[in-house]
Structures are given as C-alpha cells and as structure tokens.
Structure 1
C-alpha cells in the first residue's frame, strides 16, 4: 500500500518554509536519489525535535516532471493555468522543485532547510525561499478565519490523495498548487467590518457563513464553494500569512486528489462558470469580490508523489 508524504495531511503548524528550486542540467539521476532521502531526513529531525511537530512535502513541477521521472506521468498534470484576465494579475514561476517544511519551531525549520540545502546544493539553484507563520487563531491578515470550510478527519485524505483505483502508480500522491497573494491592507482596513464581511461572505469573528440578503453571490466564501453553500470543498488548503517590509499577504498551498479540482475552483473565482471557458475573452459572471483587494505574483503547479513512488523511482531497476 502506497504511503503518502506526512506533510500533506498534517495538522496546522506555527511556521512554514517554502523552498523553490531549479535543477541544474543533467542532474536527474542523482536528484532522484536525493529527493527520496529528504523524507528520511525530515523524519529523523522530527524524532529528535518531537515537540516541534515537524513535517514536510517534496513536490515536482509540471514542466520538470518528464525530465525527472520519464517513465510515467500523473493524469492531467499540467502547468499552472495561466489566464489572461484584466481583473487579476497572475505570474507563473518556473520552478522545477518545491520543498515545504512546517513545524511549531522556526529554529527547527531553519535546521531542516539548512540540511536539505546541503543535500541538494550541488544539483540545484535556489530561486526563492518563502516564510509563512500562523496568525492569531488561524486567521489571515484580513482578520478573517482562513479557509473555514477546510475538510477535517478522513475527508482530508479523500480530497488530497490520489485514489489507487484511479491511478495505481500515483496512489497517495497529491496535486499541489502554490500561490502567493499580496494584500492591499491599506484599503481593506478602511472598510467597515460589515463591508468586509459581505466581501468575504462570512462572519468575521466566528467564520460562519452570512445569511441572505447579506450573502452575496460573488462573495469569497460562495466563490470558494462554486456558488452553492451546500457544495463540499474541492481542495485541502494549507495557507499561511507572510509579512516582510512593505509586502504582506498569504502563501496559499492547495492539495487535490484530482487534476482538475484547482482549475474548477480558480476559474469560478475568476468569473468563469466552467474551467473550459478559460480561453474565452470574457468570463460569464463577476469574479470573486475579494480579488479587488489582492493580487497573485507567484503561481505554480506541482505533484507530490508518495513516499513509495520516491523510493521506487530511485532504484537502479526503475523504468526510465
């Protein structure tokens, strides 16, 4: 039975580090070996710093997958759906690898990232290292509870991990989508709380859904539910705020068991009724109201294979 990477369904932590890496040319064989060692490295540190609740995820970019693992590709695995949309600036980052490290101690994250860097340094270039942190009681910098509809319990695994019946080779893997959102807090904080609530579609204190007529059809909450309160979530979200200098916002990481889950959600938020409408000139409906107060400057799609796949792929007899 395939074993998932422990960081995918882990409980929320206080700190996170995100390493975006580009592989040097011709390093695929050694990288297959070393990527399989990273979960072992993290497990060793997790045992040593048991109170820190350390976990992590190793993921491979859509445009690098075939170079690293040419023998098989996850179904429907595509680069970030870049959408020409006048209302929202998007920029895809060309990262070959993403490594996420999360724990309740920033010093433990530092140690883990340092050791991962030492392991991979001869074979990769570090594009960017992002840092996230838990804010108050799981809120983002708008003051609202982040992703209040996030799945819990066994539903986490169902939404985030590939079903072995659908893709036996990639069972327990996960489609991962990374975005960095910058918030316009100057204008956001000038709004009345009632205005903020109608944009978000939820109560600011409890995080419960507003009732009509205050619940607007293109509020952030309803757009995240594809327009219907009864719709279940499509992804498992692991978002964390970031703040540095005059830049602040949210690092959004979504895990999905199906390749089209993110496209369905993000397309709906942009105003498209269906993901197939992305190439049309105009969306069919208004976009998510919260997009007037944020923009994404980093977007990328990855696949986080199972521990079993990472171990199998680095064997000498693995299909290439």
Structure 2
C-alpha cells in the first residue's frame, strides 16, 4: 500500500514554513534522488524533536513534472487555471517545487528548512519563502475562523488522497493549489461587525453559520464551504504578517484536480449568483500555483524509474 506524505492529513500546527523553489536546468536526476530522501530527513528530525509534531509535504509543479518524472503524469495535473469569466488577477507563477514544513516549534521549522536547503541547494534556486503562524485558535487576520467545518478523521484521507482504484501509480498522492492572499486590513477594519459577518457568512465570535435571513449568496462561507463529500477540499491555511503586508497562505489539497478547479471557479464568480467571493473585495492574490504531492512510495520508486 502506498504511503502518503504525513503533512497532508496532519492536525493543525502553530508554525508553517514554505519553500518555493525553481530547479536548475539539467539537474533533474539529482533532484529526483534527493526528494526521495526528504521524508526520511523529516522523520529523523521529528523523532529528535518529538514534541514539535513536525511534518512536511513535497509537491512538484505542473510545469516541472514532465522534466522530473517523464515516464508518468497524474491525470488532471495542469498549470494553475486562468479563468476567463473573471477579471480578478490570480498572479499565476510556474513554481517547480513547493515544500511545506509545519510544527509546533518555529526553531524546529528553521532547522528542518536549513537541512532541506542544504540537501537541495546546488540544484535549485529559491523563488520565495513564506512563514505562517496559527492565529487566535484557527482564525485568519480578519478575526474570523478561517475554515469553520474542516473534514475530520477518515474523511480527510478520502477528500485529500488519490484513490488506489482510480490511479494506482499515484495512490495516496494529492493535488495541491497554493495561493498567497494579501488582505487590505485598513479597509476591512472600517466595516461594522454586521458588515464583516455578512461578507464572511459566519458569526465572528462563534464561527457558526449565519441564519438564512442574514446569509448572502456570495459570502465567503457560501462560496468556499461544500457539503457534498465529492466536492470537499482539505484546506491547511495559515496567516502571515509582515510590517507592510498581511494575509493568508492558502494550501488546498484534493484527491481530484477537478475539485480544486471547481472550488476556485465558484469563488471567482462561476456560481449561480455570477459574482465573486465578497472577501476578495478586501484582498488580492500575490501568487497562485498548482502542484501534485506524490506518495512517499512514488518518490522512492521513481529514483530508479521503477514505475
């Protein structure tokens, strides 16, 4: 049975570190070998810092996949969609490698990232690095609960991991959308509480869904929360904050690429109301990229092209 990367279905952590890397041309073989060593490296650190609950996810960009693994490709893996019905700028970026490191200790994240970069440094260039943190028990910087009803237990695996029967080679892998979103908090904070709750579609204190008479069709909740199991997305969002900009790092996992595309389409106006998520009036995308996070088993087999 394929072994999934433990960072996909992990519980929430206090700190997140994100590496966005581009490969140097002609280094595919070396990268393929070294990516297969990452899970063991993280497992070793996790055993040493057992209280930190350290995990990682390695994901390969759509545009880089065929160079790294030319013999096979996940069904549906494609560049981040450029949706024609919206004028919202998605800031699509062709990132080759995305590595997510999460734990309950920022110093452990730092150590893990340093060792990962030492492993890969002669083969990649750093495109960007992000640092996320848990804020007020799972809220984003708007002050609202970020994901009010996340999949739990076995449902996490069903939502996020490719099924063995559908794609045996890529079983236990996951399709990934990564977006960095900048919030305009100055404008947001001028809204009344009632106005903020209408935009979000949930109560600010409790995180409960607003009553029908207060709910609007294009609230953030209405366009991002799904009840159909086949449409669910596993979100591992974390806030980030710097002196001049603040926002959310949004990492979405799904067992099917189409689910991620449909969720994005709904949010950007491809819905019955024909309008975008109201929260986007107070935010903008700084980066969007599409990846596939293969299973640990695939990473190991791919070293010798045993696929």
Q: TM-score, normalised by structure 1?
A: 0.93
Instruction: Give the alignment of 1:59-98 within 5 angstroms.
Output: 59-84=59-84, 87-98=87-98
Corresponding residue of 1:146 = 146
CA distance in 1, matches of 2:85, 2:247: 21
Number of residue pairs the alignment of both structures matches = 306
Task: Tell me how far 1:297 sits from its aligned partner.
Answer: 1.1
Corresponding residue of 1:266 = 264
Q: Deviations over 1:161-211 (max 9, x none)?
A: 000010000000000110000001001111111110111100111111111
Corresponding residue of 2:211 = 211
Task: Tell me how far 1:288 sits from its aligned partner.
Answer: 1.0
CA distance in 2, matches of 1:271, 1:117: 39
Corresponding residue of 1:104 = 104
Question: Does residue 1:318 correspond to 2:301, yes or no?
Answer: no
Question: Does residue 1:296 correspond to 2:294, yes or no?
Answer: no
Q: TM-score, normalised by structure 2?
A: 0.97
Corresponding residue of 2:234 = 236
Q: Deviations over 1:71-103 (max 9, x none)?
A: 110001001002256652211112100011000
Q: Structure 1 pair 203/87, CA: closer, same or farther in 2 (3 Å)?
A: farther
Question: Does residue 1:173 correspond to 2:173, yes or no?
Answer: yes
CA distance in 2, matches of 1:242, 1:192: 24
List, as ranges, runs of 4+ consecutive aligned residues in structure 1 with deviation greater than 6 Å: none
Task: Tell me how far 1:253 sits from its aligned partner.
Answer: 0.1
What is the CA RMSD across the aligned residues, in angstroms? Answer: 1.3
CA distance in 1, matches of 2:225, 2:106: 33
* Matched position secondary structure for 2:143: coil
CA contact (8 A) 1:160 1:236 kept: yes
Instruction: Give the alignment of 1:19-58 within 5 angstroms.
Output: 19-58=19-58
CA distance in 2, matches of 1:125, 1:289: 36
CA distance in 1, matches of 2:111, 2:276: 42
* Matched position secondary structure for 2:122: helix
CA contact (8 A) 1:225 1:231 kept: no
Return the match for 1:257 from 235, 248, 255.
255
CA distance in 2, matches of 1:302, 1:161: 14
Give the unaligned 5+ runs of structure 2. none
